Structure 1
């Protein structure tokens, strides 16, 4: 595999990022979103994120092969040192270290902003199926996240109920 680079997302990346995300909307329960957003909606989401948080892309041979970003954990000033993370890679990119590198770059950027608590909201299968496995939970655990909560049968997609879990990683001191 050729070398990947990690760089900030720019608004012009929206179509490439949406192409990655569309797979997850249509084929998986990794996101509970049921309809693929329009390009203009997706561009607006990226622009909103970039006003406050990092939004990063991994690029190989001029093509985006993954993206990750931070978002508001809760919309109150008391939570300003906490964020929710999101990451997506095309299916063929998993297992090559791309996600780990991308999350590490995001973690470093957030740490420099004074962020201490990282949270991941993850679809969790009651029974693994063709739409959802424990891969995301295992990926986050491998990166030092700990499961801190389960919401039971809170998401319904493909005619099935799925749980949602929250995982947490502390990356700084609470002084």
Structure 2
């Protein structure tokens, strides 16, 4: 039986995470990034995210199979209770339930912070092709996200135009006097 473990990411995980991500940059329109970032750039991205938000990994039998993190939604103070979520799984680890476990763990950590609204920005094809299908939108829908917006032909990759959709999930109560969120480093040892 396989051992599944979810834990906080560490900077020394960056090489494996970049290996997972690079597949999507090179072979898919799931990310609109054209070039694989350097290890140093990827580590810097991780550090910036971990200053405020959770960045977690899922391991199967001791090998990282995917990662998920949250980031600022827009970046202005009034949006502090909202965040953008991201997930990437090793291309051979899809359809095993690891994505659900990872996102559920991320959601739990975000609730502890006081986050109320989750947003996912998803590349979306008008017509599915070899670079992009609708699986990501369907995955988010199964987890309770709903589509709240669509931008048409806003991403160009592999000589094709792709749409982008925004999906939203409300995970907390919106109050007239909302308590401030807590930065994740204060909570990190609790995962």
TM-score, structure 1 length as denominator? 0.99
Instruction: Find the aligned partners of 1:13 and 1:91 in 2 and give their Cα distance.
Output: 17
1:147-158 alignment, distance < 5 Å: 147-158=147-158
Instruction: Find the aligned partners of 1:75 and 1:61 in 2 and give their Cα distance.
Output: 37
How much does 1:108 deviate?
0.3
Count residues in correspondence. 175
Residue in structure 2 matched with residue 38 of structure 1 by the alignment: 38
Where does the alignment leave 5 or more consecutive residues of structure 2 unmatched?
A: 176-191
Deviations 1:138-161 (A, max 9, x none): 000000000000000000000000
How much does 1:74 deviate?
1.1
Over the aligned positions, Cα root-mean-square deviation in angstroms equals 0.6
Deviations 1:111-164 (A, max 9, x none): 000000000000000110000000000000000000000000000000000000
TM-score, structure 2 length as denominator? 0.91
Instruction: Find the aligned partners of 2:63 and 2:3 in 1 and give their Cα distance.
Output: 12
Residue in structure 2 matched with residue 86 of structure 1 by the alignment: 86
Deviations 1:59-89 (A, max 9, x none): 1122110000000001110000000000000
